[in-house]
Amino acid sequence: MNTLRRALAPSLALSLAVLAACSAPTPSVRNPAALDEGQTYAPVIDPADFSHPLANDYFPLDPGLTTVFEGGGERVEVTVTSETKVIMGVTTTVITDQVTVGGDLKEDTLDWYAADNFGNVWYFGEQTAEYENGEVSTTEGSWEAGVDGALPGIIMLADPRIGETYRQEFYAGQAEDVARVYARDESITVPKDTYDLVLVTEDWSLLTPDVHERKWYAPNIGVVFEETISGGSGTLSLIDAVRH
């Protein structure tokens, strides 16, 4: 590991944190999607809290950003579109996520995200379809916040702190992914590039608690690497990132 880069990273991270603290409004709840299995999950969604969204460097919602990943024989292409969808009174950004194997489409998903005024990025649901022989085989896994009891979660906290755990989504018995902040200020090299100030989360579903994966998020890019660490195996690495 580059010793100089390791030495500079904490001070740069501190500078970024100070700047963010000075510019961002203070939320009434620091972790509004906190996981507390002893309590009913009931996040407060007020469209006014999304009226002046604050960008989150670890999960940018810049239209035209496309990231491409490969691993396990799959190719995954994720694009932040200029399209929007209003959910629970909040204007969300539509992100497309397509999985291909050998050039054949296997999964095609529309995800809906929105940043709030404090810099949290919320996940409002997805419309997904899996394909076999060019035909849709199932749309299982689709859900929308505000419909049939489903509620949004947070995909990236405004100020993630090691050990914090939060719900990423909630549709009882169908979509119950959660994440915990595992590490900060890491460095990682993937086929696309080397990234510093990387945030690492550990993700799992309360429906399949034995399967855990870790995700590495780089500033201004988002996810750059994923690895299943228990209940299976496999990795997904960033090979390209372009802005149209």
Question: DSSP letters along 85-103, please?
Answer: EEETTEEEEEEEEEEEETT
Architecture of domain 3-25+42-243: Beta Barrel (2.40)
How many CA atoms lie less than 13 Å away from 57 in the CB half-sphere?
Answer: 14
Output the six-digit token pair for 90: 């909040």
Q: Which amino acid is at 112?
A: W
How many CA atoms lie less than 13 Å away from 194 in the CB half-sphere?
Answer: 5
CA distances from residue 207 to 57, 150, 173, 175, 177 in whole angstroms, order as listed: 30, 15, 7, 8, 8
Do 126 and 141 touch, CB atoms closer than 8 A?
yes
How many CA atoms lie less than 13 Å away from 24 in the CB half-sphere?
Answer: 24
Output the six-digit token pair for 13: 């991270």
* Euclidean distance between CA atoms 160 and 119, whole angstroms: 11
pLDDT tens sequence for the chain (244 residues): 443 333 334 444 444 444 444 455 666 688 999 999 889 999 999 999 999 999 999 999 999 999 999 999 999 999 999 999 999 999 999 999 999 999 999 999 999 999 999 999 999 999 999 999 999 999 999 999 999 999 999 999 999 999 999 999 999 999 999 999 999 999 999 999 999 999 999 999 999 999 999 999 999 999 999 999 999 999 999 999 999 8
pTM: 0.88
Q: What angle do CA 73, 144, 230 make, to 5 degrees?
A: 40
- Owner of token pair 């590495």: 216
Give the residue extent of every domain in the chain.
3-25+42-243
